[in-house]
């Protein structure tokens, strides 16, 4: 049964049930006939590309229709995952505690250093400053007080990101010590 003797309409009438079979077999709900259309298109492509010396046409139809439907399912799943990821990112942005909302607009909350000194205890920070080197104090000032990222600090100071990270490690090590805790209690 070569395609030379038979038109696509005749082939379609004989093989339309294959499309329905794979929709059912793959447990696909197809209210908008997307999968049916994809199966019909796959059948048309298989009809056009069919080579009789490669095997039976029915096997080629089955293979093509099934795989095109699976590809469409994967595409739709990927689109749903991307949409869900985007929605999650937007929801996180809305729910993030670093913004306040006024109507439909959201504005970033001011950094600690900008907020009139309410959380800035000069005596505490002077005590901390006395225990640290210049670079370690830069890390405290930029990272802790002003909220800059490690990368931003490295760019501003003209050093590597690893250098800024090492400043932070040393600060944490010094501030974790028992001697510093005793000094803070006396303040």
DSSP state of 112: G
User: What's the pLDDT at 106?
Assistant: 60
Do 69 and 119 lie in a common domain? no
Q: How many domains does the chain have?
A: 2
pLDDT per residue as tens digits for the range 50-93: 888 888 988 889 999 999 999 999 999 999 999 998 888 887 77
Helix, strand or coil for residue 116? coil
150 in the same domain as 71: no
| pLDDT for position 43 | 92
Structure tokens at 139: 């890390």
Q: Is there a domain that residue 69 lies in? A: yes
Whether residues 30 and 80 fall in one domain? yes
- Looking at the fold, whether 119 and 75 belong to one and the same domain comes out as no
CB 115 within 8 A of CB 127: no
Model-level pTM? 0.47
Same domain, 86 and 126: no
Q: Which two tokens stand for residue 20?
A: 């329905």
Residue 3 placed within a domain: no
Domain range for residue 76?
8-95
Over the stretch 19-50, which tens digit does the pLDDT of each residue have? 989 999 999 998 888 999 999 999 999 999 98
Biggest CA–CA distance in the chain, Å, is 100
pLDDT over 70 percentage in the chain: 76
Q: Report the distance separating Cα 9 and Cα 117, nearest Å.
A: 80
What are the DSSP calls for 128-145, one per residue? HHHHS-HHHHHHIIIIII
Q: What is the pLDDT of residue 115?
A: 44
């Amino acid at each position: 049964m070569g395609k030379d003797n038979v038109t696509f309409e005749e082939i379609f009438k004989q093989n339309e049930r294959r499309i329905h079979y794979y929709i059912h077999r793959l447990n696909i709900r197809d209210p908008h006939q997307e999968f049916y259309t994809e199966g019909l298109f796959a059948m048309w492509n298989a009809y056009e590309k069919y080579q009789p010396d490669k095997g039976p046409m029915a096997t080629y139809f089955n293979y093509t229709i099934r795989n095109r439907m699976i590809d469409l399912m994967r595409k739709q799943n990927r689109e749903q995952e991307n949409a869900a990821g985007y929605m999650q990112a937007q929801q996180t942005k809305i729910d993030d505690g670093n913004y306040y909302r006024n109507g439909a607009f959201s504005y970033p909350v001011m950094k600690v250093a900008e907020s009139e000194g309410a959380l800035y205890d000069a005596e505490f920070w002077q005590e901390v400053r006395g225990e640290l080197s210049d670079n370690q104090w830069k890390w405290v000032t930029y990272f802790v007080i002003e909220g800059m990222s490690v990368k931003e600090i490295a760019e501003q100071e003209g050093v590597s990101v690893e250098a800024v990270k090492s400043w932070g490690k040393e600060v944490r090590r010094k501030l974790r010590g028992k001697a510093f805790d005793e000094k803070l209690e006396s303040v």
